[in-house]
């Protein structure tokens, strides 16, 4: 099982020097992927811009969007951004897509919130047509650039729930999951559901199974993890945010190691550790932990 890292872009005030240091350290470390998530009505950097920067300062790791809330955007624009980052990275880009869960992000962009699941299905088909070099509008030339790999980057689905999983299994190359705890039983159930939906869709081979969770190491790990989770989830109200923050447990070396082992036992191909601080020491602790597994 591979292990990657999501950058600390969701922390207000994170700047150029912080991100460059993290990008280079992830690339130099025992990690498989460098990831970044998307929010709009939040004090984070824009995801695709960060990943384009990461593509130019790294040489080895995959570069992943986890995930693009694609129904907030024109599909052709997402396809062009993804293909551009794929070119900049020399074919290392992975596009995670999903519908998100925060209507304020949609409102901030003036995007409609309705039919978002059906729209995502349609958008992925459009994205793949763009990558194949097909015209997507009558009388308009094809949209480039061409991705490095034939067929374009892998597309992973950031989905939860049986209906969303069943839809995504028809068009995704795999799953880009997230689990608060992480809860081993919950991760295993999600993986099994995706495998079953993959089979029901008569897809050949096996899906790529990825999950992720917040982590915090060091002496302040437990407090920092709860505070970070509560702040990030505050949009759902204090009571819900507090309950969800209490479910986050990856706040010590042993807890993170146990969580990684549990995800591997569940069949994960890859786990992404999501940063809760810009302190580079936390990344070095994670690198030591992963290298010593």
Confidence of residue 293 (pLDDT cuts 50, 70, 90): confident
Could you tell me if 38 and 8 are in contact, meaning their C-beta atoms sit under 8 angstroms apart? Answer: no
Helix (H) or strand (E) holding 165: helix 162-168
Mean pLDDT of 207-233: 97
**What is the average pLDDT across 115-135?**
97
Asked if 248 contacts 225 with a C-beta cutoff of 8 angstroms, the reply is yes
The pLDDT-based confidence of 175 (bands split at 50, 70, 90) is very high
Mean pLDDT (whole number) for 54-62: 98
Structure tokens at 237: 């109200």
Token pair in block for residue 249: 């447990």
Question: In the chain, what percentage of residues exceed pLDDT 90?
Answer: 99
- Rounded to whole angstroms, how far apart are CA atoms 250 and 222? 8
Q: What is the pLDDT of the chain when averaged over all its residues? A: 97
Of 3.40.1350.10, 3.20.20.30, 2.30.40.10, 3.40.50.2300, the CATH number of 2-291 is 3.20.20.30
State the average pLDDT over residues 196-217.
Answer: 98
Cα separation, 178 vs 28, in Å, equals 25
Query: Model confidence over 148-170: pLDDT tens digits?
Result: 999 999 999 999 999 999 999 99
Q: Cα separation of 98 and 69, whole Å?
A: 5
Pairing between β-strand 270-274 and β-strand 2-6 as defined by DSSP bridges: parallel
User: What does the block give as tokens for 61?
Assistant: 């790791």
Q: What angle do CA 183, 211, 30 make, to 5 degrees?
A: 115
State how far the Cα of 164 lies from the Cα of 155, in Å rounded to an integer: 15
Domain spans of the chain? 2-291
Q: Taking residues 57-70, report their average pLDDT.
A: 98
């Amino acid at each position: 099982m591979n292990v990657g890292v999501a950058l600390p872009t969701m922390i207000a005030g994170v700047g150029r020097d912080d991100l460059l240091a993290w990008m280079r350290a992830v690339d130099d470390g025992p990690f498989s992927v460098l990831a970044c998530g998307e929010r709009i009505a939040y004090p984070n950097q824009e995801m695709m811009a960060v990943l384009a920067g990461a593509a130019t300062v790294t040489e080895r790791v995959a570069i992943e969007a986890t995930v693009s809330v694609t129904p907030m955007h024109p599909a052709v624009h997402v396809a062009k951004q993804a293909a551009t980052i794929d070119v900049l990275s020399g074919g290392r880009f992975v596009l995670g897509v999903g519908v998100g869960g925060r209507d304020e992000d949609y409102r901030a962009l003036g995007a409609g919130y309705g039919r978002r699941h059906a729209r995502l299905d349609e958008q992925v088909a459009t994205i793949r047509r763009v990558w194949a070099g097909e015209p997507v509008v009558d009388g308009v030339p094809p949209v480039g650039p061409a991705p490095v790999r034939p067929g374009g980057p892998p597309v992973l689905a950031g989905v939860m729930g049986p209906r969303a999983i069943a839809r995504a299994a028809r068009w995704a190359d795999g799953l880009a999951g997230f689990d608060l705890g992480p809860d081993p039983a919950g991760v295993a159930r999600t993986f099994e559901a995706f495998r079953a939906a993959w089979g029901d869709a008569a897809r050949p081979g096996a899906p790529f199974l990825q999950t992720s969770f917040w982590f915090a190491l060091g002496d302040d790990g437990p407090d920092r993890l709860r505070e970070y989770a509560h702040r990030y989830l505050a949009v759902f109200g204090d009571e819900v945010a507090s309950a969800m923050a209490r479910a986050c447990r990856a706040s010590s070396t042993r807890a993170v190691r146990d969580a990684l082992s549990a995800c591997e036992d569940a069949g994960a191909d890859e786990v992404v550790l999501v940063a809760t601080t810009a302190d580079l020491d936390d990344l070095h602790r994670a690198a030591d932990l992963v290298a010593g597994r």
